[in-house]
Every structure is written in structure tokens, then in C-alpha cells.
């Protein structure tokens, strides 16, 4: 076993409930108790977050997430999906890049968008700083 639970899953050293995989990525059911149908998509190569992710792994995660999302809507009766990820160390539960894929249904009551504070700087200032 390694220090990374997702690497353990990728290498077959830890169990998972596999949904689908590609050469460079895996999608499996999260062991987190909330919410129902919570899936994770991870690159098979260990990278901490999107900031150090190689283009091939990032593309593989995105393509697999899209393929599973289409399956969830077309074959499983969901109405859409939410994708969530963070590259902020204090917020990352596992230091291995991953995307949370949450199947959605009309009226499911999920509020997956964080309550964000009001803007404290002018819009143009934010725009200039992030260009």
C-alpha cells in the first residue's frame, strides 16, 4: 500500500466499485456517504492537482468524465451531472487530482454550488488581476 489511496486503487492494491476506465483514467463510486451516486474520476498517473497534471492525464480524466456523464443521462435516468474539483491543498481530501461527478435529477435537492461571499473588489480589478 502506498500513501495515496487513489494510487492504491489504480494499482489494484485497494478495492473499488469500478464504473469505467480508460488507459489513463478510472471512474469509480466514492466511499463517501454523501451524496448517493457520488462518483470520482482520477488519472492513473499520480498528480496532486490540475496545476501539475500532464495534458494527457487531464484529457483522459475529462474524456472519461464525459463518457460516464453521457451514460448516466442516456442509460441510468439522470437529468445531468455536476463536476467538482479543487486544486487548493487545504480543501483537497486526497492529494491526487480527482473530479467529483455527481449525477443529478430534477428536484433532487442537492445544492452543490458553494455559498460564496459577495464581491469585495470591482469587477474590472478582478478581471485585470486574472488576465
CA 88 to chain centre: 14
**DSSP strand pairing (18-21 vs 39-43):** unpaired
pLDDT digits (tens, 9 = 90+) for 70-120: 999 999 999 999 999 988 887 888 999 999 999 999 999 998 888 889 999
* Domain extent at residue 79: 5-129
For the whole model, what pTM was predicted? 0.91
What's the pLDDT score for residue 91?
Answer: 80
Look at residues 129, 114, 124, 100 and name the one whose alpha carbon lies nearest to residue 35.
Answer: 100
* Statement: residue 2 has pLDDT above 80: no
Record the cell numbers describing residue 44, joined without a space. Answer: 492513473
46, 96, 98, 100: the active-site residue: 98
Q: How many domains does the chain have?
A: 1
Mean local confidence (pLDDT), 36-54? 96
What's the pLDDT score for residue 90?
Answer: 79
98 in catalytic set: yes
Q: Which residues have C-beta within 8 Å of that of residue 107, sequence separation ≥ 6?
A: none
State how far the Cα of 31 lies from the Cα of 42, in Å rounded to an integer: 14
Domain CATH number, residue 92: 3.30.428.10
Amino acid at each position: 500500500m502506498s500513501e495515496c489511496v487513489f494510487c492504491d486503487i489504480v494499482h489494484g492494491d485497494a478495492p473499488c466499485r469500478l464504473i469505467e476506465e480508460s488507459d489513463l483514467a478510472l471512474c469509480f463510486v466514492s466511499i463517501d456517504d454523501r451524496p448517493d451516486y457520488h462518483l470520482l474520476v482520477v488519472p492513473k498517473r499520480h498528480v496532486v492537482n490540475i496545476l501539475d497534471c500532464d495534458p494527457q492525464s487531464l484529457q483522459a480524466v475529462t474524456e472519461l468524465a464525459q463518457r460516464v456523464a453521457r451514460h448516466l443521462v442516456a442509460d441510468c435516468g439522470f437529468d445531468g451531472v455536476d463536476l467538482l474539483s479543487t486544486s487548493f491543498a487545504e480543501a483537497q481530501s486526497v492529494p491526487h487530482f480527482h473530479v467529483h461527478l455527481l449525477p443529478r435529477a430534477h428536484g433532487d435537492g442537492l445544492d452543490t454550488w458553494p455559498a460564496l461571499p459577495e464581491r469585495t473588489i470591482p469587477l474590472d480589478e478582478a478581471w485585470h488581476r486574472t488576465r
